[in-house]
Structures are given as structure tokens and as C-alpha cells.
């Protein structure tokens, strides 16, 4: 056992797949950043709002005013440098830090996809993605290696497999499989799709989509790993992600997943891709084909341990929800960072009441005075948002001269087609609570049951 592990970590493979992955990743990230800017989202999401929802423990990460644009420029340039493989290590570290900083600025914009990018770029810091077909390797033949340790490529496969598999596990619940929720709500609203519009109205369609989505997520990693099913699996990857792109506002993610899935193919395929690129840009690819094995670097043990710990954390983190009572979909305690995608049609309505305990004066808060519509929407069904906002309101009204303040919220949440129900105890002064990882006792019970994971 021990020997086979040592043997595994000493085995080598072609660096080409990782080089293709690096190029694809860099270009798509650059495109994402540019798209983000062109959509006016930097302004809308990070500059306009007067108040930002922070992640617990990361309250110090805030947008930088107009310098936020600079942050995006840094992030985009780093992505470009990653793509061409120039000063790769610095570039990927810069990308990881700037991208993660952007994501931490306001949790209103949280998407599993962004989290995926963050941790993927973290992993890439420890992989020699510039060993082959990069500017670094071109300029310095001492850094050029045609072969790299096998685990480097396998670690990306493992991360992709994990994302899919956990997303599949998360679909093993009664709302998704038995009630075909939330697809039963979402699909009929796509009545104007060319060709498929009428199909989306059929009652059986959401069930087919739910079950095949679940099977796809659970099986695709294995089908991609197994040589004989790989090609068909890749077709499925394309069809699946194209479909999600057509049906939902899902941004760049489908493209990222399609390009990423290429990593499962044999080095031969990647050499062909690189040949194509060489042809277009007139690059002498032969120069990289030096048949050299990647130098065992001094900190190899350190790298492997970091990557091992990284995967251990990734493996365990999605299960943390088991430590909390009540229904996960309802409380969302342990919901994020767990590959739970597209599982809920959830919306809320939260009206805050401020009471001045000295004068007995009470009044409601006009949320649009403080929050953008998007922030208000996200706030109204997530308890940690509600709590943070309550504290913000208290600070605001204290500054306005109210001294002994209490903040209450009357809130309703509707989940996966259920009629909306009261969400937070209306008679609890939210200021008595501070945010923490502990269970939030002011969340009212769900009054229903969702079976499964």
C-alpha cells in the first residue's frame, strides 16, 4: 500500500493537458472579468450599494470605491498572464488573491461557480502549469519540462469529479426527485424558447430533467474517467451545459465546465490542440517537447501535503450542515460552499421594525433606502443577512439620535412552491444576537419535511 502510494507520487505523465487547461482557464477568466465589466456589474454590485453584506470573519474585506476597478484590472491581467504562462506563479497567486477578494466583498453575489473558481485557482498555485507550452518555459529552458508528476493532473480531475458528485448527492432529496421542484416552477416559464417552448409546459418534462440532472451529476465523473465512455460523456457534458446555458442565466460557468472537462482526455488530444494553437500563432511547439521530467523541487512534500489537506477539507466541508438542526434548505446553515446548485426556488419578504425603547416610538424601515433591489432580495431569505442588516440598521438609527434601540423583523419565506410562511420570530430583538457559526435560534421551524440529503 505504502509502496504503491510512493510509486504513484513518483509517476509522471505528459504536461500537455495541464498546459491546455491553464490556457483555457486563463482566457475564460479574462473573458469573465471583461463581461462583468461590460455588464456594468462592477458599478452595480460593488460601487452603488451603500452597505455590503460581509462573510462572517471577513468583515474587513470591502469594496475599494473607484479602486475596485483597479482590482478587476489586476485580476483580469493576472488571468491573461496565467493563459500565456508568463511569471506563472506570481500570476496565479495574484489571480487567486484578487478574485477571492472580489468574491468576499459582498456575499450577496455568492455563487457556487465563483467559489469553484477561487478554490481551483488556489489548487493551481501548487501545480506546475507553466512547465510546458508557456512563456516561462520558452524563455527559460531550465523551467521547461515535457513530463510532470501524474498527481498534478489527477488533482484537477479529482476536484471536477468532486464538484459534480457532490452536486449530484445534493439532488437526492424529495423536493428534487419526487416533486421535481424547483424545475416545475422554472421550466414552464421558458415558454418562449424556440422549439422547446411548448415542450417545457408538459408535466413530465421537469421530472425527466430532475432525474437526468441527478444521474448526470453523479455519473459523469466516472464516465469521463473511463476511457471507453469518455467521448460520449464529453458529448453529454456539452449537451448538459448548453442546455443549462439556454434555460438559465448562468453566465460563463457552462463554458468553464466544458473546457475543464477536456482534462480527462488523453495527452494525445491535448497535443493536437496545442498543435493547432502553434499553427495559428506560429509557435515552434517542438521546442517544448524535450522529454524532460519535472524537477523534484525541494518543497515537493510541502506542496503535496497542502493539496492533500485541501482535498480533505473539500471532502468534509459540504457535510457540516449535519451539525445544525432543522431543514437545511430552510435555515441555510451550512448551505454555501457545498455544491448545492439550482436546488431551490426561494424568496422572502422581510420588513424591519425599529423600536426606540426610551420613547416607545416604533416605525418600519424602507429597505430600498439602504439596499439595492438585488441585496434586498438576497437578504430577505437568508438569516445571516437578516441579522447583519439588523445590526446595520441599529447603527444607522443610533447615529440619527435614537438611543435605546431594538430591531425586529417580520419576514416570510416561500420555498419550492410552498406557500410562504413566517421565517424569523417577529418578537425577537435581533440585536440580542451576534453572528456566529452557531445555530440561529430565532429562525422559526419549517413545518414541512424534505427527505433525503
Partner 1 sequence: MKKFSRILIVASLIFTACSSEDEGSGNSEVDTFDRGAMLENWADNIIVPSFDNFKSSTQQLEDLTIAFTSNPSEENLVALRSQFESSYLNFQTVAMFDIGKAEELNYRRFLNTYPLATSEVESKIAGGSYNLELPSSFTEQGFPALDYLLNGLGETDAEIVAKYSSENYRNYLLDVSKRINSLTTEVNSSWQADYRDTFISSTSSSSTGSVDKFTNKYIMYYETFLRSGKIGYPAGAFTGTPSPINVEAYYSADLSKKLYLQSLKTTQDFFNGKYFNTSQTGKSYKQYLEFLEKGDLANDIISQFGTINSQATNLDDSFKSQVETNNTLMLVAFDELQKQVVLLKLDMVQALSISINYVDSDGD
Nearer to partner 1, 251 or 452 (CB): 251
Nearest Cα neighbor of 411 from 432, 385, 436, 437 is 385
**How far apart are alpha carbons 114 and 278 in whole angstroms?**
31
Q: Which is it for strands 361-364 and 346-356: parallel, antiparallel or unpaired?
A: antiparallel
Q: Least distance from C-beta 2 to partner 1, angstroms?
A: 40
> Quick check: 348 binds partner 1 (CB under 8 A)?
yes
Applying CB under 8 A, which of residues 34, 185, 312, 315 lies at the interface with partner 1? 185
For 113, other C-beta atoms within 10 Å of its C-beta total 18
Site string for partner 1, 358-397 (x = CB under 8 A): ---xxxxxx-----xxx-xx--------------------
> Quick check: 51 binds partner 1 (CB under 8 A)?
no
Which part of the chain contacts partner 1 (CB under 8 A), choosing from 13-21, 156-164, 243-251, 440-448? 243-251
Strand partners, 354: 363, 407
Write down the residue that cell numbers 473573458 correspond to. Answer: 31
> Quick check: 174 binds partner 1 (CB under 8 A)?
no
Count the helices and strands in the chain (H runs, E runs): 18, 6
Which part of the chain contacts partner 1 (CB under 8 A), choosing from 66-74, 213-221, 240-248, 386-394? 240-248
Which part of the chain contacts partner 1 (CB under 8 A), choosing from 41-49, 144-152, 424-432, 433-441? 41-49
Nearer to partner 1, 326 or 420 (CB): 420
Nearer to partner 1, 60 or 195 (CB): 195
Q: Least distance from C-beta 351 to partner 1, angstroms?
A: 7
Q: Least distance from C-beta 37 to partner 1, angstroms?
A: 14
Peptide bond into 182 cis (omega under 30): yes
Which part of the chain contacts partner 1 (CB under 8 A), choosing from 60-68, 120-128, 248-256, 302-310? 248-256
Q: Least distance from C-beta 403 to partner 1, angstroms?
A: 14
> Quick check: 87 binds partner 1 (CB under 8 A)?
no
Q: Give the CA distances from residue 300 to residues 9, 126, 296, 307, in Å, rounded to whole numbers and listed in that order.
A: 10, 9, 7, 11
Is the CB of residue 145 less than 8 Å from the CB of residue 287? no
113-142 binders of partner 1 (CB under 8 A): 113
279-338 binders of partner 1 (CB under 8 A): none
Please report the DSSP string for 6-41 in residue order: HHHHT-EEESHHHHHHHHHHHHHHHHHHHHHHHTTH
Kindly report the backbone phi and psi dihedral angles of residue 252, in degrees, each rounded to the nearest multiple of 5, phi listed first: -85, -10
SS3 412: strand
User: Which segments of 382-452 does DSSP mark as H helices, in order?
Assistant: 383-399
Please report the DSSP string for 47-80 in residue order: IS-SS-PPPTT-TT----TTHHHHHHHHHHHHHH
Nearer to partner 1, 71 or 341 (CB): 341
> Where do contacts with partner 1 occur on this chain (CB under 8 A)?
39, 41, 44-45, 109, 111-113, 185-186, 188-194, 197-198, 201-202, 235, 238, 242, 245-246, 248-251, 253, 258, 269, 272-273, 276, 341-342, 345, 347-349, 351, 356, 361-366, 372-374, 376-377, 412-414, 417, 419-420
Amino acid at each position: 500500500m505504502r509502496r504503491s502510494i510512493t510509486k504513484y507520487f513518483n509517476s509522471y505523465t505528459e504536461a500537455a493537458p495541464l498546459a491546455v487547461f491553464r490556457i483555457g482557464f486563463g482566457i475564460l477568466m479574462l473573458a469573465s472579468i471583461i463581461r462583468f465589466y461590460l455588464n456594468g456589474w462592477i458599478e452595480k454590485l460593488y460601487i452603488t450599494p451603500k452597505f455590503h453584506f460581509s462573510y462572517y470573519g471577513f468583515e474587513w474585506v470591502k469594496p475599494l470605491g473607484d479602486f475596485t476597478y483597479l482590482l478587476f484590472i489586476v485580476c483580469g491581467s493576472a488571468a491573461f498572464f496565467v493563459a500565456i504562462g508568463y511569471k506563472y506563479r506570481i500570476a496565479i497567486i495574484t489571480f487567486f488573491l484578487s478574485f477571492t477578494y472580489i468574491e468576499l466583498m459582498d456575499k450577496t453575489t455568492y455563487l457556487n461557480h465563483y467559489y469553484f473558481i477561487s478554490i481551483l485557482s488556489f489548487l493551481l498555485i501548487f501545480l506546475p502549469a507553466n512547465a510546458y507550452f508557456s512563456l516561462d518555459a520558452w524563455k527559460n529552458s531550465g523551467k521547461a519540462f515535457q513530463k510532470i508528476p501524474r498527481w498534478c493532473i489527477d488533482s484537477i480531475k479529482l476536484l471536477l469529479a468532486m464538484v459534480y458528485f457532490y452536486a449530484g448527492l445534493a439532488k437526492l432529496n424529495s423536493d428534487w426527485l419526487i416533486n421535481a421542484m424547483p424545475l416545475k416552477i422554472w421550466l414552464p416559464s421558458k415558454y418562449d424558447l424556440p422549439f422547446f417552448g411548448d415542450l417545457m409546459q408538459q408535466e413530465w418534462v421537469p421530472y425527466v430533467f430532475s432525474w437526468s440532472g441527478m444521474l448526470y451529476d453523479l455519473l459523469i465523473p466516472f464516465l469521463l474517467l473511463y476511457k471507453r465512455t469518455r467521448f460520449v460523456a464529453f458529448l453529454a457534458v456539452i449537451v448538459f451545459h448548453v442546455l443549462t446555458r439556454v434555460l438559465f442565466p448562468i453566465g460563463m460557468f457552462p463554458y468553464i465546465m466544458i473546457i475543464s472537462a477536456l482534462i480527462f482526455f488523453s495527452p494525445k488530444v491535448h497535443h493536437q490542440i496545442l498543435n493547432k494553437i502553434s499553427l495559428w500563432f506560429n509557435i515552434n511547439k517542438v521546442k517544448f517537447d524535450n522529454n524532460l521530467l519535472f524537477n523534484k523541487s525541494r518543497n515537493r512534500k510541502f506542496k503535496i501535503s497542502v493539496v492533500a489537506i485541501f482535498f480533505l477539507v473539500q471532502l468534509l466541508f459540504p457535510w457540516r450542515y449535519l451539525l445544525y438542526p432543522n431543514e437545511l434548505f430552510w435555515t441555510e446553515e451550512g448551505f454555501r460552499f457545498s455544491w448545492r446548485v439550482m436546488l431551490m426556488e426561494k424568496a422572502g419578504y422581510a420588513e424591519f421594525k425599529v423600536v426606540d425603547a426610551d420613547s416607545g416610538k416604533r416605525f418600519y424601515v424602507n429597505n430600498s433606502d439602504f439596499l439595492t433591489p438585488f441585496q434586498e432580495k438576497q437578504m430577505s431569505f437568508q438569516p445571516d443577512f437578516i441579522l447583519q442588516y439588523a445590526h446595520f440598521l441599529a447603527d444607522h438609527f443610533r447615529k440619527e439620535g435614537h438611543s435605546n434601540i431594538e430591531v425586529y423583523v417580520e419576514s416570510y419565506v416561500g420555498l419550492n412552491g410552498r406557500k410562504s410562511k413566517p421565517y424569523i420570530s417577529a418578537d425577537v430583538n435581533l440585536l440580542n444576537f451576534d453572528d456566529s457559526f452557531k445555530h440561529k435560534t430565532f429562525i422559526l421551524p419549517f413545518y414541512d419535511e424534505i427527505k433525503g440529503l
